[in-house]
Amino acid sequence: MAVILEAVGLDVGYGNTSIATDIGLSVSAGEVVCLLGPNGCGKTTLFKTLLGLLPPLRGRLELGGSTYASYSRAAFARRVGYVPQAQAPTFAFRVIDIVLMGRASQIDLFRTPSTNDLAAANAALDALGISHLARRHFSEISGGERQMALIARALAQGPQLLVMDEPTSALDFGNEVRVLETIQSLSASGLAIVLSTHNPSHALACADRVALMKAGSIIAFGTPEEIVTSRSLHDLYGVDVSVTYMEQEKRHICIPSLKVKEKSK
């Protein structure tokens, strides 16, 4: 598969201050790469750089074999989609209007969305199985449905790469599962996906490769079975975790070892 995103010797940060250094990362078409790490390790700054919002401080960062600097803002936006954490709505837009916002990079200033733009938005809704929500107001649907609408907005761009920042955050268990299934489906269609999560079991469920990030460095990068272990999770988060293989599911899950105090009688 073609490499869509590649970072080599990458330093990221603000001004002259590095937050994360010597980052090595790659994502190929049809691959899910999951980033795990505690709060404050530099994930957010790295994601801002991958999204082109911050310039790299050092190193090489390429999209589709070309440097980030070689892309215009519009050309970059047509290739990279972004899915934020679940959001509370600010304005009462319809779902179809939210998804059409993903076509902004392909619509000239002062132009209204074309028939092709509307077709792309409807195709994204249909691909996620939420066409029935098109005329509903974004403020009136559930958190899980809002997250699916935000994924549809990113898909409407027609991207090669999808960057997802904790896409299951604040969702209930059922909607977490639906979003993870959607991630697997999108990668199977050929999309390159890089996502962050605070749940190692999610990485084991849907990732092809996992990067562990700690104190501004990627300390391990490989397959979930190689990388997500009891020892590595203890080193990363400072808690005891059991990584167990589920024969029926044919995959591993993480179970925290809780120290439960005995109740006094």
pLDDT tens digits for the chain (265 residues)?
Answer: 799 999 999 999 999 999 999 999 999 999 999 999 999 999 999 999 999 999 999 999 999 999 999 999 989 999 999 998 877 666 779 999 999 999 988 776 667 788 999 999 999 999 999 999 999 999 899 888 999 999 999 999 999 999 999 998 888 898 899 999 999 999 999 999 999 999 999 999 999 999 999 999 999 999 999 999 999 999 999 999 999 888 887 888 898 887 766 666 6
The tokens of 76 are what?
A: 């970059």
Please tell me the class of the 1-79+159-237 domain.
Answer: alpha beta
pLDDT at 56: 96
One-letter amino acid of 48: K
pLDDT at 261: 65
Instruction: Give φ, ψ of 251 to 5 degrees.
Output: -160, 170
One-letter amino acid of 45: T
d(CA 22, CA 5): 16
Three-class secondary structure of residue 15 per DSSP = coil
Q: Are 239 and 256 in contact (CB under 8 A)?
A: yes
pLDDT at 110: 61
Which residues have C-beta within 8 Å of that of residue 10, sequence separation ≥ 6?
Answer: 20, 22, 23, 24, 25, 49, 56, 58, 59, 60, 61
The tokens of 124 are what?
A: 């994204």
Which residues have C-beta within 8 Å of that of residue 143, sequence separation ≥ 6?
Answer: 86, 170, 171, 172, 175
Three-class secondary structure of residue 164 per DSSP = strand
Which residue has tokens 């403020």?
139
This prediction's pTM: 0.91
Q: Are 35 and 194 in contact (CB under 8 A)?
A: yes
- Parallel, antiparallel, or unpaired: how do β-strands 3-14 and 32-36 relate? unpaired
pLDDT at 263: 65
Compute the Cα dihedral for 134, 136, 139, 140 and give only its sign.
negative
d(CA 95, CA 124): 12
What does DSSP assign to residue 139? G
The tokens of 195 are what?
A: 């996502």
Residues of the chain with CATH 3.40.50.300: 1-79+159-237
Which residues have C-beta within 8 Å of that of residue 231, sequence separation ≥ 6?
Answer: none
